[in-house]
Structures are given as structure tokens and as C-alpha cells.
Amino acid sequence: MNKQAIEDQYLRINKFFGQLVGVWPYQERFTKFCIRLTIFAIIILTLTTQIYQVIVFCTLDALSNQLPYLNALFILLFKQYNYILNEDKLRDLLNDIIFDRLMVRSKKELEILNMYSRRATTLCIFYEVIVIFSAIMFIMIPTIPPILNIIMPLNESRDREFIYPTYFFIDEEKYYYPILTYMATVILIVSSVYLACDTNLVQIVHHGCALLAISGYHFKHAVDDMKFSNGNYIDLLMDETYKKVKQSIKAHKTAVEYVDKIDACHIYYFLLIIGMIVLAFTGTFLKLSTMEIEIRFFTFCGYTVAQLTHLFFLTIMGQFLINANDEIFNTIYEAHWYNGSSRTQSLYVLVLRKCLNPPTLTGGGLIVLNLDSFVQILKLSFSYYTVFRS
């Protein structure tokens, strides 16, 4: 198996969407530049029209209507340019996945790698379905008034809807369908960037979990061959076991360093994204509490669910790593380390101590990503909502 085969077999979702939006580090440079420039121009134009919509109407209601869409676009820019600015770090992380796949490994190690790879692929597919469903939901918004005109007619036809509120410097009625086509393109770009960046995160995090699990497997079985002769250790086996434990420590160190590289690639990205999500939740909660039940009400509900899923998706990545570290701790503790020599046992003690400070994903080194953070962020959003509501 070569590098190309590994990319096609284990990283195909990442590669497809990454090449689509110009964040795949192995893509040809000129092609990446053209794709990035095109997306940047479209997003800046979209932001301009949305901000101008707020300026033209200059009301709090206009701002609250626009906030979710502005928020989604700023998050897109944070996502894409995090991987553009950290392209070398992402390439290094993906190279490690490919290198670890090309290494000669035992059957059990390959089983662990394949297990976590399958988990990552399943999660990527699940996330892909959610994002595509959300995109289709938004693209279908303009079809609702014509359908309602047929099944629930009024004395006059309902006004035509756009996918999102915006202000173009042209006659919007005359150029309704070109504008609608442009908006659908924006939605597809947003969906593709989210998928490209977040599926990369899934793959590298699960590879980090796999490396931790492999080191735990080595620790568990490092002392299996220890035997006694006349109540004493066999020197040759004792030395061999000591070497195995040192190799296990080396494998654990490699896994921890890999996770630290993931955190270094995303540390400020997570902080910015979490801040934007808190802002989005607060704004949408306020808007939903004052809206009548109509088309836009359900749009805001859908947006809230999408951001909730997005936040859960990010925080659970950190939880996966914490769980993997806890499994190592339990695996080492359950190993027959007490059959080893005193110096072997001391190595186990050092590793157990190291596991008490697990490698984590953080937002700016301030917020540890886990399920507890997920709950705390929701509480914070509700607190801000309560303050502004009162």
C-alpha cells in the first residue's frame, strides 16, 4: 500500500471536500490559490450585502435577523483560514497518519488503527448527512410560498422568499432567480467548507486516539512473558521486559506529542469558534422569543439546532481524547505490572502519573474541550440571553 492508496481508502471524504474548497495540503498550489480566491471573493461580497442590509434598515430587528447568517460566514472564514495559515501543521498531522499506516505493524495494532478509522469514517458520514440536510433545508426556503399558495391559497399570492435576508444593489424582483442561484451557491460553499475542515478534525483526533490505544496495548502485554525460576526473576526475560516497557513509553510519548500538535493547530481556532457560537445562541434565543410562528421562525429553529450540533461535534472531539487517555490508565493498572522487576514497576508508576495530566484540546488554553464544556457553554449562552431579555 502506498501514500495514494491510503489517501483514497482512509481519507477520501477529507480529500474530496478539502480539494473542493482549497484546504487539502497536497493539492496543486495554483489550483488551491484560485479556489481560495474565488471563495474569498464570494464570501466578502455576501458579507457586504448582508451588512449593507443592516445599514439600510438600521434597526435592531434587522440586525437580529442578519446575525445568524453573519455568524455562519465569519465561522466559515475562521475555519478555512485556520487550515490555510496552519497548512504545514495540517500536512504534518496527515503525514503522520500516512506514515503510521505504512509502518510494519502487528496484527493487533492494525486492528486498533482500523477500528478507529472506521469510527472516524462513520462520524464523518453522519456529519456529512447533517450538513447536507441543513443546506437542503435552507435552499428549499424559497419554494415554501409557492407551495403554500397552492395548498393554502390566500386572496393574493404570498411574497417571494430569499434563502437569507440581504440587500443587493439591483432590482431584486427582476433578478430574483439569478440572486437565488447565487444564494444557493453560497450555501453550498458554506457547507463544503464546514465539511472539509471538520472531517479533517475527526480523522486526526481519531488517529490520536488510536495511537494512545496502541501504547496502552503495549503496556498491558509488556510483562506477559515474565517468568520465575526458583523464586527469582530470569535475568534475560527481565531485561527484555524492561525494553518492551521503554518502547511502550516511547509509543505513548509519540501519541501525546501527536495530540499536542492537534491542539497547536487549532488552539485559537477553537476559542474563536466557541465565542461565535455563544454569540449565535444568545442572538437566536432572543430572536425566537419575540418571533411569530412563520417561515423565518422555523429557519431560526433549524439554525439553532445546526449550531448546537456543531458545538457538540467540536466538544466531543476533546472528550474522545480524554476517554482514550482514561482507557490507557485503566489498561496499565490492569496489566500484570506487579510481576515485573522494581525498575519496570517504577516505569509503570511514572506512566500512570503522566496519565493524570491527559493531553487535551483547548480553546486558547483557557477552555478544555469536553462534554462538560458543552454544558457550560450552553449555560453561558442562556445566562447572556436572560440578561439581554431582562
Domain that includes residue 293, residue range: 3-389
Closest by Cα among 24, 14, 90, 25 to 264:
90
User: Cα(238)–Cα(375) distance, rounded to whole angstroms?
Assistant: 48
Residues of the chain with pLDDT under 50: 228-230, 235
Q: pTM, whole model, 2 decimals?
A: 0.87
Helix (H) or strand (E) segment spanning residue 371: helix 371-389
Looking at residue 338, its pLDDT comes to: 67
Q: 63-109: per-residue pLDDT in tens? A: 777 888 888 899 999 999 999 999 999 999 999 998 888 887 788 88
Other residues' Cβ atoms within 10 Å of the Cβ of residue 197? 24
CA angle 236, 240, 242 (to 5 degrees): 120
User: Cα(141)–Cα(275) distance, rounded to whole angstroms?
Assistant: 28
Q: 341-376: per-residue pLDDT in tens? A: 677 777 777 777 877 788 888 888 788 888 888 888
For residue 58, give the 3-state DSSP assignment.
coil
Q: How many domains does the chain divide into?
A: 1
Amino acid sitting at position 133 = F
User: Cα(68)–Cα(53) distance, rounded to whole angstroms?
Assistant: 14
User: Cα(105)–Cα(229) distance, rounded to whole angstroms?
Assistant: 32
Looking at residue 251, its pLDDT comes to: 84
User: Cα(77)–Cα(80) distance, rounded to whole angstroms?
Assistant: 5
Looking at residue 291, its pLDDT comes to: 66
Asked whether 63 and 287 are in contact (CB, 8 A), the reply is: no
